[in-house]
Amino acid sequence: MSLDVPTIRRQFPSLQSQTVFFDNPGGTQVPQIVIDRMVTYYQESNANQFGAFATSQASDGIIDEARSAVADLLNASRPEEIVFGPNMTSLTLALSRSLANELSEGDEIIVTRLDHDANISPWMQIAEARGATLQWLDFDVEDCTLLQSQFDELLSEKTRLVALGYASNAVGTINPIKTMIRKARGVGALTFIDAVQYTPHGPIDVQDLDCDFLVISAYKFFGPHMGMLYGKYEHLDRLRAYKVRPAPDDPPGKFETGTKNHEGIAGVLGAIEYLAWIGDCYGVEGEFDTDRFRDRALQLHRAMHTIQQDEITLTQTLIEALEAIPQIHIWGITESPRLLDRVPTVSFTMDDHPPRKIAKHLAQAGINVWDGNYYALAVTERLGLENTGGMLRVGLVHYNSLDEIERLHDALKVLT
């Protein structure tokens, strides 16, 4: 069943304006249920954790429910595998400090040139600190896909960690991470997956992927500015956490340093409730109707499968609109048969028009887009675009419409 976009858009207060939100890779808009969850938290349960009084106990209940909801979204085996934090970057940096204890001189870490720097710099820093070697996996500049033959060559008995992006926040490529995780496991390496860009666009099943760690950000899937880390319980249990002494010794609490953003966690619950609503209203039976998915987890996986299918039309329409302007060069996958290999995050350059100039022009037309490198520094450096302003990025999600894409095309046409 296809999504009813007008009904979807009515769930989002900000979408009632004339602004076109194509800045979604940097942060999506939020539905009313997220706002209501956060407001209600402040009104009825605003307290710190583990108290004997009613508001503290209510706050604890919301946090527990949100943790279970994230576990359902990712199909984790238990809620205790979910760690809340301020954002993906902070969570990755914190975990990298714990993982550094397991590295020795001569060990190797693989990172990719297709990743956000938050999945590169933390590993670069611990490699330097521990005398390990950082190995770089390159990508094909023609279609922006990782070089799988090189990956096979880089893997060895020295490989201790492989850091991969599920999807590129710069050029939209969805990487074949399940196969890459299997290969990394074959040499005994841990895998760390940045799924921030992928989460709003498709289903995630960490048990099926068999990854060791995976990070997401709620503000990229219609929630507040929060980050979540999934880790196999066996790893979270054995790793040393850098924490204050009275903090819990068991996961996930030992990794959640200090007082958490309780109202933000309530908003995360609202975002997942919104996605479950999509699954209930628009989801159809499919590959997720197995014994591994029940109740809310099944609703969520149906929702994300439906969103993924609907976004193919949006992606194709956007690419065709951009390709109709001869001065534009799209970086990444553009062929129709391969659209399932990318998310609707499309970056381009335009002859004689710096990305910042285009972004300002579109802003005057009421269209929000990003320009620059989006912290995917290795991508713009590899493409030779870093010193010329990077790229112009248009990022769609399921609440965007075909009419908005037409507005973008008309606004860009003015520049030709």
Query: Could you tell me if 62 and 114 lie in one domain?
Result: yes
DSSP one-letter string for 198-266: TGGGS---HHHHT-SEEEEEGGGTTS-S-EEEEE-HHHHHHSPP---TTS-SSTTGGGS-SS--HHHHH
pLDDT at residue 293, as a whole number: 82
Q: Strand pairing of 190-194 and 213-217?
A: parallel
pLDDT at residue 211, as a whole number: 98
Query: Could you tell me if 101 and 175 lie in one domain?
Result: yes
Query: Could you tell me if 228 and 138 lie in one domain?
Result: yes
Q: Are 90 and 114 in contact (CB under 8 A)?
A: no
Out of 275, 295, 321, pick the residue that ends a domain. Answer: 275
Query: Could you tell me if 258 and 327 lie in one domain?
Result: no
Query: Could you tell me if 53 and 131 lie in one domain?
Result: yes
Query: Could you tell me if 142 and 227 lie in one domain?
Result: yes
> Average pLDDT of each block of 10 consecutive residues along the chain (416 residues)?
93 97 98 98 96 97 98 97 97 97 96 98 97 98 98 98 98 98 98 98 97 98 98 97 91 95 98 97 76 88 95 97 97 96 98 97 98 98 97 98 98 95
User: Is 211 part of a structural domain of the chain?
Assistant: yes
- The CATH number linked to 232 is 3.40.640.10
Q: What tens digit of pLDDT does each residue of 252-261 get?
A: 999 999 999 9
User: Is 291 part of a structural domain of the chain?
Assistant: no
Query: Could you tell me if 69 and 122 lie in one domain?
Result: yes
Query: Could you tell me if 63 and 173 lie in one domain?
Result: yes
DSSP one-letter string for 367-379: EE-EEE-TT-HHH
Partner residues linked to 21 by β-bridges:
368
User: Is 153 part of a structural domain of the chain?
Assistant: yes
Query: Could you tell me if 66 and 123 lie in one domain?
Result: yes
Establish whether the linkage from the previous residue to 252 is cis, with ω within 30° of 0: yes
User: Is 298 part of a structural domain of the chain?
Assistant: no
Q: What tens digit of pLDDT does each residue of 301-338 get?
A: 999 999 999 999 999 999 999 999 999 999 999 999 99
Q: What tens digit of pLDDT does each residue of 70-90 get?
A: 999 999 999 999 999 999 999
User: Is 288 part of a structural domain of the chain?
Assistant: no
- The CATH number linked to 354 is 3.90.1150.10
Query: Could you tell me if 51 and 99 lie in one domain?
Result: yes
User: Is 287 part of a structural domain of the chain?
Assistant: no
Which tokens hold the place of 356?
Answer: 């910042």
Domain count, the chain: 2
Which tokens hold the place of 146?
Answer: 């990782």
pLDDT at residue 280, as a whole number: 93
- Model pTM? 0.97
Q: Are 139 and 168 in contact (CB under 8 A)?
A: no
Query: Could you tell me if 322 and 186 lie in one domain?
Result: no
pLDDT at residue 291, as a whole number: 73
Out of 252, 275, 298, pick the residue that ends a domain. Answer: 275
3-state helix, strand, coil in the chain (%, to 5): 50, 15, 35
**Quick one: which H or E segment has residue 269?**
helix 262-282
Q: Among residues of the chain, what percentage have pLDDT more than 90?
A: 95
Query: Could you tell me if 153 and 266 lie in one domain?
Result: yes
Out of 275, 298, 328, pick the residue that ends a domain. Answer: 275
State which residues form the domain around 374.
5-29+309-413
**Quick one: which H or E segment has residue 109?**
strand 108-112
pLDDT at residue 233, as a whole number: 98
Ramachandran angles phi, psi of 370, nearest 5°? -105, 150
**Alpha-carbon distances of 233 from 151, 251, 275, 317, rounded to whole Å:** 28, 8, 26, 42
